[in-house]
Amino acid sequence: MEPLLSSFVSLFAPVPFAFIFLGVFVGVVVGAIPGLSGAMVIALTLPLTFHMDSTNALVLLVAMYVGATSGGLISATLMRMPGTPAALMTVLDGFPMAKQGQPGRALGFGIMASFIGGLVSWVFLAGLAPPLAEIAVRFGPYEIFSITLVALMLISAVSEGSMLKGLLSGLLGVLVSMVGSDPASGAVRLTMGIADLDGGFRLLPVILGMLVLGQVVKDVVDIDQPIERLSASTRSMFMKFVDLRRQAVNLVRSSLIGTWIGILPGIGGTTAAIASYTTARSFSRHPEKFGKGCEDGIVAAETANNAAVNGALVPLITLGIPGSVIDVILLGALVIHDLTPGPLLFRDSPESAYGIIAAALIANVLMLLIMLVATPWFARLMYVSRAWLMPPIIVFCIIGAFSEGNRMFDVWVMLGFGVLGYAMMRARMSVGPFIIGYILAPIAEVQLRSGLMIYDGSFLPLLTRPVSLGFLLFAVITAFWPLLRRLFERGQTAPSIPDSSAE
């Protein structure tokens, strides 16, 4: 408790507090603009933090994470376009409610739900992370290998679209991660004789290319799409106590769903929002109202996607395993600042570990205040032309890719991954599994090979060690879940989420 309290005290100093405020502000702005996302702004900001104090850098990025996840609500409600992927489900009820003349109420519900989701999940983050880190220190290589296997299976199983394409995307990411020197023997792999690849593909060019440039190209392709826009009225924006009481069960349930899904490595806010929305509809006495401006839908989606933010920080700072794509970038930030992600973070750099936890709460409170006050102004930013946004984003990407290693080669790599990222989007292959596979595969390989060396080449401890076995079973169930579900549901019609594209 004491390290956490002293982190709070230190973050209220002018400089770190200013960074948290700036992070939330920029995050909300970026989250509100369709075509930009939290992952983009955090990836673009990462190079700017190279020379910053590590704690300030981390709190800035965490604050952006919180802000961007919440900011997506604004364009989801007023433009029928999720500002960030996590706001996908908010569109279904936020926009219809706004169209019915209640944009302020829709926004108010979403903002309050985001705040409460963040608050509940923060309690889990603060309560779970330190003891989990202590337990995780005792994990051996096979336990960590099993956990990464679960993450790889999960991201493929729950990625948008078909599981097969999710697995393929993940495998591509795994493949890309293997380019360069083998971590154990130093043998050079898959470099095609290109000396610059001996060190492998650097993190920033891959992330900037796949997540940012690919999306930029897609946004240019879609530049002529007409966008319906509604004005943001602040009338009735503040959620009344009677509304809060009516939504209490939904808020708590959605917070728990979002937190739990966030904790599961490799998934993230979008899946949390989908799961929470469908659960709320299943439990609702009026499921027919969902998709037509139902408050419950907005609350369920926004509560869960914000709860997932703090939930995803749990595996990141305790195990060094990213809970979502954005956490991959945060993982990169830890590495760039010479911090060892995982259970040793609490021992070796407690100010950074507790700083992240404290910043998550402060950012959540600031998000509430900033969004309640400034949403009508943020809403105007949605009208910024893509012609103005795209060129600066591309320039920032080039600077970011160059800055990590001062090599133009990395810029070319980024451009190449940008083309690949767009090609994958065209092929309807989610990019998320690729990124997670790229990050997790080296961890999985190193841990498995270490385990084999320790146990004289035996795979048996994978099955005899209870934690490892538990996670392996989970991975197997996840891999076969779609097939199992089809067998169980044979002959039944599964309820489906209303297809907004048909409206």
Partner 1 sequence: MPTPRKQRRHADIVAALLLIALGALVAWSSYSLPPPMLEPVGPAVFPRWTGLALMVLAALLLVGALRGLPAAQDAAAVVPVKAAPRNDLALATVVLTFAYVAAMELEWLGFRTATTGYVFIVMLLLTPTGQRLRQVPVATGTALLLGLGLHYLFTRFFYIDLPT
142-181 residues in contact with partner 1 (CB under 8 A) are 159-165, 167-168, 171-172, 174-175, 178
Least Cβ distance, residue 365 to partner 1 (angstroms): 29
Q: Which is nearer to partner 1, 164 or 335 (CB)?
A: 164
Could you say whether residue 193 binds partner 1 (CB under 8 A)? no
Tell me phi and psi for residue 355, to 5 degrees: -65, -40
Q: Collect contacts of 477-485 with beta carbons under 8 A, ≥24 apart.
A: 478/150, 478/153, 478/154, 478/157, 479/153, 479/157, 481/157, 482/157, 482/163
Is residue 226 at the binding interface for partner 1, with CB under 8 A as the rule? yes
Rounded (10°) angle between helices 54-78 and 295-319: 160
Sign of torsion over alpha carbons 23, 298, 263, 437: negative
In contact, 54 and 352? CB cutoff 8 Å: yes
Please give the residues from 126 up to 145 whose contact with partner 1 meets the rule CB under 8 A: none
CA-based end-to-end distance of the chain:
51
Establish if 225 lies at the interface with partner 1 (CB under 8 A): yes
48 near partner 1 (CB under 8 A): yes
Distance CA 131, CA 152 (A): 25
Whether the Cβ atoms of residue 308 and residue 258 lie closer than 8 Å to each other: yes
Query: Which residues 390-409 are close enough to bind partner 1 by CB under 8 A?
Result: 390-392, 394-395, 398-399, 402-403, 406, 408
Sign, CA dihedral 413-418-421-426, equals negative
Is 434 near partner 1 (CB under 8 A)?
A: no
Report the residue number, 132 or 441, with the smaller CB distance to partner 1.
441
Interaction of residue 453 with partner 1, rule CB under 8 A? yes
Interaction with partner 1 in 358-387: which residues (CB under 8 A)? 385-387
Looking at 37-45, 134-142, 333-341, 453-461, which segment touches partner 1 (CB under 8 A)?
453-461
What's the closest the beta carbon of residue 439 comes to partner 1, in angstroms?
15
Binders of partner 1 among 270-289, rule CB under 8 A? none
Q: Chain-centre distance of CA 277, in angstroms?
A: 18
Contact pick of 2, 242, 457, 491 for partner 1 (by CB under 8 A): 457
Q: Does 493 bind partner 1 (CB under 8 A)?
A: no
Q: What is the per-residue binding string for partner 1 in 313-352, x denoting contact by CB under 8 A?
A: ----------------------------------------
Site for partner 1 in 83-102 (CB under 8 A): 88, 91
Cα 17 from chain centroid (whole Å): 23
